[in-house]
Amino acid sequence: MKKSYFSLLVLFIATLASCSNDKKLPIFGEREAKIIKGADGIDRIDTVYQTIPNFSFLNQDSTVLTQDAFKGKIYVADFFFTSCTTICPTMHRNLKTVYDDYKTNPDVMFLSHTIDFKYDKPSVLKKYAEKLGVDVAKWQFVYGSKDQVYPLAEKSYLVAVGEDNQSPDGYMHQGWLILIDKQKRMRGAYDGTKAEQVEQLKKDILILLAEEK
Protein backbone atom coordinates (compact mmCIF):
# COMPACT_ATOMS: atom_id res chain seq x y z
CA MET A 1 0.00 0.00 0.00
CA LYS A 2 2.71 2.40 1.08
CA LYS A 3 4.72 1.54 -1.98
CA SER A 4 1.93 2.45 -4.36
CA TYR A 5 1.51 5.81 -2.64
CA PHE A 6 5.20 6.39 -3.05
CA SER A 7 5.17 5.54 -6.75
CA LEU A 8 2.14 7.79 -7.23
CA LEU A 9 4.05 10.58 -5.58
CA VAL A 10 7.06 9.98 -7.81
CA LEU A 11 4.80 10.00 -10.85
CA PHE A 12 3.19 13.21 -9.69
CA ILE A 13 6.53 14.95 -9.15
CA ALA A 14 7.82 13.67 -12.49
CA THR A 15 4.74 15.07 -14.23
CA LEU A 16 5.19 18.42 -12.58
CA ALA A 17 8.87 18.48 -13.45
CA SER A 18 8.23 17.62 -17.07
CA CYS A 19 5.60 20.35 -17.24
CA SER A 20 7.97 23.04 -16.09
CA ASN A 21 10.77 21.78 -18.29
CA ASP A 22 9.18 22.24 -21.66
CA LYS A 23 6.84 25.07 -20.78
CA LYS A 24 5.52 26.78 -23.85
CA LEU A 25 3.45 29.86 -24.27
CA PRO A 26 0.01 29.52 -25.87
CA ILE A 27 -0.59 30.78 -29.39
CA PHE A 28 -3.44 33.28 -29.59
CA GLY A 29 -5.79 34.25 -32.38
CA GLU A 30 -7.64 32.39 -35.09
CA ARG A 31 -6.25 29.19 -36.51
CA GLU A 32 -7.16 26.89 -39.36
CA ALA A 33 -6.19 23.42 -40.44
CA LYS A 34 -4.62 23.19 -43.84
CA ILE A 35 -3.79 20.13 -45.83
CA ILE A 36 -0.28 20.25 -47.20
CA LYS A 37 1.19 17.77 -49.60
CA GLY A 38 4.54 16.58 -48.34
CA ALA A 39 7.58 15.87 -50.51
CA ASP A 40 6.70 12.16 -50.32
CA GLY A 41 3.29 12.79 -51.83
CA ILE A 42 1.40 12.11 -48.58
CA ASP A 43 -1.13 14.68 -47.38
CA ARG A 44 -0.48 16.12 -43.94
CA ILE A 45 -2.58 18.40 -41.82
CA ASP A 46 -0.85 21.56 -40.75
CA THR A 47 -2.17 24.32 -38.47
CA VAL A 48 -1.99 27.85 -39.77
CA TYR A 49 -1.97 30.46 -37.02
CA GLN A 50 -3.01 34.07 -37.10
CA THR A 51 -0.03 36.34 -37.74
CA ILE A 52 0.62 40.06 -37.78
CA PRO A 53 0.32 41.20 -41.42
CA ASN A 54 2.89 43.40 -43.10
CA PHE A 55 2.81 47.06 -42.20
CA SER A 56 4.59 50.25 -43.16
CA PHE A 57 4.72 53.14 -40.69
CA LEU A 58 6.85 56.19 -40.07
CA ASN A 59 8.91 55.92 -36.93
CA GLN A 60 10.16 58.62 -34.56
CA ASP A 61 12.99 59.42 -36.98
CA SER A 62 10.52 59.82 -39.89
CA THR A 63 11.92 56.76 -41.62
CA VAL A 64 9.77 53.95 -42.91
CA LEU A 65 9.48 50.98 -40.57
CA THR A 66 8.28 47.59 -41.81
CA GLN A 67 8.39 44.09 -40.42
CA ASP A 68 11.94 43.76 -41.75
CA ALA A 69 13.04 45.55 -38.58
CA PHE A 70 11.66 42.67 -36.49
CA LYS A 71 13.07 39.77 -38.51
CA GLY A 72 14.41 37.08 -36.19
CA LYS A 73 13.31 39.03 -33.11
CA ILE A 74 10.50 38.83 -30.64
CA TYR A 75 8.77 42.06 -29.73
CA VAL A 76 6.25 43.67 -27.41
CA ALA A 77 3.62 45.84 -29.10
CA ASP A 78 1.24 48.38 -27.60
CA PHE A 79 -1.10 51.24 -28.54
CA PHE A 80 -0.95 54.65 -26.86
CA PHE A 81 -0.84 58.38 -27.58
CA THR A 82 1.51 61.04 -26.26
CA SER A 83 -1.08 63.39 -24.75
CA CYS A 84 -2.79 60.55 -22.88
CA THR A 85 -3.08 61.26 -19.18
CA THR A 86 -4.84 58.11 -18.05
CA ILE A 87 -3.33 54.68 -18.57
CA CYS A 88 -0.46 55.39 -20.99
CA PRO A 89 2.03 56.86 -18.52
CA THR A 90 1.56 53.84 -16.26
CA MET A 91 1.83 51.44 -19.21
CA HIS A 92 5.05 52.97 -20.40
CA ARG A 93 6.48 53.29 -16.90
CA ASN A 94 5.95 49.53 -16.56
CA LEU A 95 7.08 48.70 -20.09
CA LYS A 96 10.25 50.65 -19.47
CA THR A 97 11.15 48.26 -16.65
CA VAL A 98 10.83 45.41 -19.18
CA TYR A 99 13.01 47.40 -21.59
CA ASP A 100 15.60 47.92 -18.86
CA ASP A 101 15.68 44.17 -18.17
CA TYR A 102 16.27 43.28 -21.82
CA LYS A 103 18.28 46.33 -22.85
CA THR A 104 21.30 44.30 -23.83
CA ASN A 105 19.45 41.45 -25.54
CA PRO A 106 19.39 42.12 -29.31
CA ASP A 107 16.57 39.60 -29.84
CA VAL A 108 13.96 41.63 -27.97
CA MET A 109 12.34 44.77 -29.38
CA PHE A 110 9.47 47.13 -28.53
CA LEU A 111 6.90 48.70 -30.84
CA SER A 112 4.53 51.43 -29.68
CA HIS A 113 1.83 52.63 -32.08
CA THR A 114 0.18 55.99 -31.58
CA ILE A 115 -3.56 56.11 -32.12
CA ASP A 116 -3.57 59.93 -32.26
CA PHE A 117 -3.25 60.30 -36.02
CA LYS A 118 -4.02 64.03 -35.79
CA TYR A 119 -1.31 65.21 -33.44
CA ASP A 120 1.33 62.52 -32.86
CA LYS A 121 3.47 63.11 -35.95
CA PRO A 122 7.00 61.58 -35.92
CA SER A 123 8.53 64.75 -34.43
CA VAL A 124 6.11 64.53 -31.49
CA LEU A 125 6.93 60.85 -31.03
CA LYS A 126 10.63 61.69 -31.12
CA LYS A 127 10.26 64.17 -28.29
CA TYR A 128 8.19 61.71 -26.31
CA ALA A 129 10.78 58.94 -26.76
CA GLU A 130 13.57 61.29 -25.70
CA LYS A 131 11.68 62.36 -22.62
CA LEU A 132 10.85 58.80 -21.68
CA GLY A 133 14.56 58.11 -22.05
CA VAL A 134 14.26 55.42 -24.72
CA ASP A 135 15.10 57.09 -28.04
CA VAL A 136 16.83 54.01 -29.44
CA ALA A 137 16.34 51.60 -32.35
CA LYS A 138 15.29 48.89 -29.92
CA TRP A 139 12.08 50.72 -28.99
CA GLN A 140 10.23 51.99 -32.05
CA PHE A 141 7.46 54.56 -31.86
CA VAL A 142 5.37 54.61 -35.01
CA TYR A 143 2.86 56.89 -36.67
CA GLY A 144 0.27 55.79 -39.20
CA SER A 145 -3.06 56.94 -40.56
CA LYS A 146 -6.26 55.89 -38.83
CA ASP A 147 -6.99 53.44 -41.67
CA GLN A 148 -3.62 51.79 -41.13
CA VAL A 149 -3.42 51.67 -37.35
CA TYR A 150 -6.96 51.03 -36.12
CA PRO A 151 -7.71 47.86 -38.13
CA LEU A 152 -4.23 46.52 -37.28
CA ALA A 153 -4.94 47.08 -33.58
CA GLU A 154 -8.37 45.53 -33.58
CA LYS A 155 -8.05 42.67 -36.06
CA SER A 156 -4.42 41.66 -35.71
CA TYR A 157 -3.32 42.57 -32.18
CA LEU A 158 -6.88 42.30 -30.77
CA VAL A 159 -6.61 45.60 -28.89
CA ALA A 160 -9.65 47.87 -28.84
CA VAL A 161 -8.88 51.47 -29.87
CA GLY A 162 -11.04 54.38 -30.93
CA GLU A 163 -11.82 58.05 -30.89
CA ASP A 164 -13.97 59.06 -27.95
CA ASN A 165 -15.64 62.41 -27.47
CA GLN A 166 -16.57 61.51 -23.91
CA SER A 167 -13.03 61.14 -22.62
CA PRO A 168 -11.07 64.30 -21.84
CA ASP A 169 -8.12 63.15 -23.98
CA GLY A 170 -10.25 62.40 -27.07
CA TYR A 171 -9.32 58.74 -27.47
CA MET A 172 -9.95 55.44 -25.75
CA HIS A 173 -7.89 52.29 -25.92
CA GLN A 174 -6.93 49.20 -23.98
CA GLY A 175 -3.62 48.91 -22.22
CA TRP A 176 -2.53 45.49 -23.46
CA LEU A 177 1.11 44.71 -24.04
CA ILE A 178 1.18 42.05 -26.77
CA LEU A 179 4.05 39.59 -27.04
CA ILE A 180 4.86 38.58 -30.64
CA ASP A 181 7.16 35.70 -31.57
CA LYS A 182 9.66 35.38 -34.42
CA GLN A 183 6.96 33.94 -36.66
CA LYS A 184 4.76 37.01 -36.02
CA ARG A 185 2.29 35.06 -33.90
CA MET A 186 0.67 36.40 -30.74
CA ARG A 187 1.99 34.58 -27.69
CA GLY A 188 0.75 36.67 -24.79
CA ALA A 189 -1.27 39.70 -23.71
CA TYR A 190 -0.56 41.54 -20.46
CA ASP A 191 -2.31 44.48 -18.84
CA GLY A 192 0.37 47.15 -18.91
CA THR A 193 -1.21 49.03 -16.02
CA LYS A 194 -0.78 46.10 -13.61
CA ALA A 195 2.69 45.54 -12.19
CA GLU A 196 2.15 41.82 -11.56
CA GLN A 197 1.12 41.16 -15.17
CA VAL A 198 4.16 43.06 -16.39
CA GLU A 199 6.31 40.81 -14.17
CA GLN A 200 4.68 37.84 -15.89
CA LEU A 201 5.58 39.36 -19.26
CA LYS A 202 9.23 39.53 -18.20
CA LYS A 203 9.16 35.82 -17.31
CA ASP A 204 7.31 34.88 -20.50
CA ILE A 205 9.86 36.68 -22.66
CA LEU A 206 12.51 34.34 -21.21
CA ILE A 207 10.35 31.30 -21.99
CA LEU A 208 9.74 32.51 -25.53
CA LEU A 209 13.43 33.21 -26.10
CA ALA A 210 14.33 29.71 -24.91
CA GLU A 211 11.63 28.16 -27.07
CA GLU A 212 12.82 29.81 -30.26
CA LYS A 213 16.51 29.17 -29.93
**Residue ranges in contact with other proteins by CB under 8 A:** 83, 85-90, 92-93, 96, 128, 130-133, 168
122 vs 175, beta carbon nearer other proteins:
175
The answer to whether 182 touches 198, Cβ cutoff 8 Å, is no
Residue 78 C-beta: closest distance to other proteins, Å? 15
Measured CA to CA, the distance from residue 207 to residue 16 in angstroms comes to: 17
130 vs 164, beta carbon nearer other proteins:
130
118 vs 155, beta carbon nearer other proteins:
118
The answer to whether 113 touches 78, Cβ cutoff 8 Å, is yes
Exposed/middle/buried for residue 211 (C-beta within 10 Å: 0-12, 13-18, 19+): middle
SS3 55: coil
- C-beta neighbour count of 185 within 10 angstroms: 17
128 vs 190, beta carbon nearer other proteins:
128
Distance of CA 7 to the CA centre of its chain: 42
